[in-house]
A = this chain, B = another copy of it.
Amino acid sequence: VITREQIISHLKKVIDPEIGLDIVELGMVRDVRVDENTVSLSIALTVKGCPLSATIEGDIHRILKTELGIESVSVSMTSMTREELNGVTEKLQRLRAEQKVPGRAAGMSSGIDKLDRKGIRTVIAVMSGKGGVGKSFVASLLATHLRQEGHEVGLLDADITGPSIAKMFGLRAKPSADENGVIPAQTDLGIKVISMNLLLDSPETPVIWRGPIINGVIRQLFNDVQWGELHYLIVDLPPGTGDAPLTVFQSLPVDGVVIVSTPQDLAFMIVAKAINMAKQLKVPILGIVENMSYVKCPHCGKTIHLYHDSGTQEKALSHGVDFLGCIPFDPTISDLADHGRIEGYTSSEAKELVRAMRTKVASVVQMTSATPIVWSREKSQTK
């Protein structure tokens, strides 16, 4: 006869992929019931609807069935209360002080000049090499959807000479600053944003700076801004493989990079340069997004391929990189971007893309601070 204690003992093998500790220690396992060859239990997630819940559930099934021979396993998912989350945070801070929590993944040394990540758990760069493929749009999509899931999200526009982010979110006011640094702008959803255009007197003022100055500014936008505690900081990179991406990869604690392409051979040739740059600098590539895959004719409803189909998915695989998904060209997007309402864009393709990216982050990147931040979703709902 299998006991409740045996079940719990085996559940210690199930690791929360985001935090890196087992689900028993994290206090996530609830209501374990054993009835001969049937086990039911519930798991309290640190964030409701966490896309990683499927991973946890799969691991539970696998371990209980193969290792203990249990025939029927039933897992229900709930989420922790604010108080329980605070308890987890305290516990993790204590464990961390005792060095029991995994820190930065081995091999990812912090580098001579690497800036401290402070309260930022995950830094994701959006890159392409090629211009005009929709990097800023993909960065905005990631930020918006992660925020809607309840995460604390920041968005750093590292395109100093061609910054799009502020306009897309309708942000205009110059950020203020105090003795602790610059206070980022906030979008309607509560995404913290910093962009060169917020700091200029006019959005049409050109920034005619050579590389070394641009590099210093990018470091400042990361280091001198009061990001606070963030689950994700999305960094929108300019085109090319020159100064700006090099500075971001060398100076910022980037955990992974999302590559954006369009379905055109010519575009992918340049995108491949970005892939190879990330590989050379040993920045994990989370995957490739294909943007502007097709457009639907508003008159006849048929699909028009804007580009000669180039098989981005196969090309991604041939470069050993995951394919995260396609986003169609939608005139709504540029309309929303022109009117500063990009947060209003949702599509099933975008949701699927963010889910794929988020799952990939958890598998590629070993989480750094391992401290669950108290989610502000409720806060922003009650304000």
Copy number in the complex reads 2
Known pairs A130-B132, A308-B338, A331-B307; A205 contacts B273 (CB<8 A):
yes
Shortest Cβ distance from residue A313 to the other chain B in the assembled complex, whole angstroms: 17
Q: Give Cα A168 to B164, complex, Å.
A: 28
By beta carbon, the residue of chain B nearest A207 is: B241
Contact B206 A269 (CB under 8 A): no
Give residues 309-353 of A contacting B (CB, 8 Å). 310, 329, 331, 334-335, 337-338
Known pairs A240-B162, A302-B300, A338-B266; A211 contacts B208 (CB<8 A):
no
Contact B306 A206 (CB under 8 A): no
Give residues 166-214 of A contacting B (CB, 8 Å). 167-168, 197, 203-212, 214
Whether, in the assembled complex, A277 has its beta carbon less than 8 Å from a beta carbon of chain B, the answer is: yes
Shortest Cβ distance from residue A285 to the other chain B in the assembled complex, whole angstroms: 13
Known pairs A264-B338, A272-B204; A214 contacts B239 (CB<8 A):
no
Q: Give Cα A80 to B100, complex, Å.
A: 87
Whether, in the assembled complex, A74 has its beta carbon less than 8 Å from a beta carbon of chain B, the answer is: no
Task: Give the contacting residue for A297; candidates B203, B246, B304, B337; CB below 8 A.
Answer: B304
Whether, in the assembled complex, A295 has its beta carbon less than 8 Å from a beta carbon of chain B, the answer is: yes
Q: Give Cα A160 to B277, complex, Å.
A: 14
Known pairs A130-B131, A241-B161; A306 contacts B297 (CB<8 A):
no
Whether, in the assembled complex, A133 has its beta carbon less than 8 Å from a beta carbon of chain B, the answer is: yes
Contact B306 A331 (CB under 8 A): yes
Contact A206 B273 (CB under 8 A): yes
Contact A240 B304 (CB under 8 A): no
Contact B243 A240 (CB under 8 A): no
Interface size for A (C-beta < 8 A) is 63
Contact B161 A240 (CB under 8 A): yes
Q: Give Cα A238 to B203, complex, Å.
A: 20
Task: Give the contacting residue for A209; candidates B242, B264, B274, B310; CB below 8 A.
Answer: B242
Shortest Cβ distance from residue A136 to the other chain B in the assembled complex, whole angstroms: 8
Contact B299 A302 (CB under 8 A): yes
Q: In the complex, which residues of chain B have a beta carbon less than 8 angstroms from the beta carbon of A84?
A: none
Give residues 59-110 of A contacting B (CB, 8 Å). none
Contact A239 B162 (CB under 8 A): yes
Whether, in the assembled complex, A305 has its beta carbon less than 8 Å from a beta carbon of chain B, the answer is: yes
Q: In the complex, which residues of chain B have a beta carbon less than 8 angstroms from the beta carbon of A280?
A: 206, 208
Q: Give Cα A138 to B272, complex, Å.
A: 23
Q: Mark A134-171, 1 if CB is under 8 A from B, else 0.
A: 00000000000000000000000001111110011000
Q: In the complex, which residues of chain B have a beta carbon less than 8 angstroms from the beta carbon of A40?
A: none
Whether, in the assembled complex, A111 has its beta carbon less than 8 Å from a beta carbon of chain B, the answer is: no
Q: In the complex, which residues of chain B have a beta carbon less than 8 angstroms from the beta carbon of A338?
A: 264-266, 308, 310
Whether, in the assembled complex, A363 has its beta carbon less than 8 Å from a beta carbon of chain B, the answer is: no
Q: In the complex, which residues of chain B have a beta carbon less than 8 angstroms from the beta carbon of A211?
A: 210-212, 214, 242-243
What are 27 of the A-B contact pairs (CB < 8 Å)? A129-B162, A131-B162, A131-B238, A132-B239, A159-B240, A204-B276, A205-B273, A205-B276, A206-B273, A206-B274, A206-B277, A207-B242, A208-B246, A209-B242, A210-B243, A211-B214, A239-B239, A243-B243, A266-B338, A295-B306, A297-B300, A297-B304, A300-B302, A304-B304, A305-B331, A306-B331, A307-B335
Known: A205-B276, A295-B304; 6 extra A-B contacts, CB below 8 A, are A130-B132, A162-B270, A214-B242, A265-B338, A297-B297, A304-B304
